[in-house]
Amino acid sequence: MVRTLLTFLISLGFIFGMELKKVSESIYMAQGVNALPSKENRGFMSNAYAVLTDEGWVVVDTLSTPELGREFISELKKIKDAPILYAIVTHYHMDHWFGASAFKEAGAKIVAHKNLKDFYDSGEADSVLNGVKSSFPGVFDNVKLTPPDVVVDSRVKLRVGNDTFLIIPMTPAHTNTDIVVFKNRVLFAGDLTAKRRIVFMGDRNASSKGWVEVLNKLKELKPKLVLSGHGEPGGLEVIKETQDYIAFVRENVARLKDEGKFIDEIREALKDTPYKNLPMYDVFHLRNVYRVFNELDMEL
């Protein structure tokens, strides 16, 4: 009955449904909307990916809620009813990790950065979950925080049948828990990149300086396909777009600070930029400016 009602509401456009896209011979994508979480979008505001190997599915990112995670698994099973072997979490933000319990229930091993496990063990993750439950009522009520079974803090290879996944920590950048997955020149970049979309630089563990360095490392991998945590797939240009935006914010905030401007004056001066028409600009841009303003003080 619940599933039937969900399908009916999706068909009427009251809530956002999930439709998988095939992005390569063995890779499938669930693409979220560019928005903050809401009851209407069900928290479906990020991307998740799955690679079909000869032994089963390897998933990259678990979406925002167990409900979305189970829906993703159900859609994958329609393609091939194979085991869900691994779910790799690119970083600790809610829209990439909070659906992990669904994959754990399905038998997958959860893989993430060691710092994500520390975040879970410290109890900070519980505080974050309580905060988002309060900020976005009705969206995250059923989230069960799920720690990783396998932690990484250095480059490792995950071998699944005839496939090899290179898992590479890339910190500090977007957060202090970022990892990327690289396979056959396909880069699963998490939120380190975004095609024609404003990235979020405001995490308390972010480093815009480190992020620029990380993006240089990603370019050295020479990926043919870049799959980001939000937005459309792309190529090397996706890395450059992200790097250009971060450089723009850093250079302009630094220039205005050098001119003696205070943060409110800097925010006003950088309110209208060439990036203003990109998705999530109104939500993230001035928060990014504020974060970089404080970061630059620590870099002196």
Residue 26 has pLDDT above 60, yes or no: yes
Q: How far apart are CA 109 and CA 60, in angstroms?
A: 12
Q: How far apart are CA 283 and CA 300, in angstroms?
A: 28
pLDDT of residue 298: 87
20-235 classified as CATH 3.60.15.10: yes
31-39 mean pLDDT = 97
In a 13 Å sphere around the CA of 233, the CA atoms on its Cβ side amount to 18
Length of the chain: 300
Beta-bridge mates of residue 183: 186
128-147 mean pLDDT = 98
Over residues 282-300, the pLDDT tens digits come to 999 999 999 999 999 988 6
Beta-bridge mates of residue 8: none
β pairing state of 150-152 and 27-30: unpaired
Over residues 77-133, the pLDDT tens digits come to 999 999 999 999 999 999 999 999 999 999 999 999 999 999 999 999 999 999 999
- The letter for the amino acid at 206 is A
pTM reported for the whole predicted model: 0.94
Q: How far apart are CA 35 and CA 44, in angstroms?
A: 9
Beta-bridge mates of residue 111: 88, 150
pLDDT of residue 300: 62
- Which one, of 87, 106, 107, 108, lies nearest residue 96 by Cα? 87
Maximum CA extent, the chain: 63
Q: How far apart are CA 78 and CA 94, in angstroms?
A: 26
* Tokens 């011979």, residue located: 25
Over residues 180-226, the pLDDT tens digits come to 999 999 999 999 999 999 999 999 999 999 999 999 999 999 999 99
* Tokens 């505001």, residue located: 45
Domain boundaries, the chain: 20-235
Residue 66 has pLDDT above 80, yes or no: yes
Calculate Rg over the CA atoms of the chain: 19
Residue 12 has pLDDT above 70, yes or no: no
* Tokens 């859609």, residue located: 75
Q: For residue 108, give the DSSP letter.
A: P
Burial of residue 209 (CB within 10 Å: 0-12, 13-18, 19+) is: middle
- Residues in CB range of 164: below 8 A, 6 or more apart: 157, 158, 183
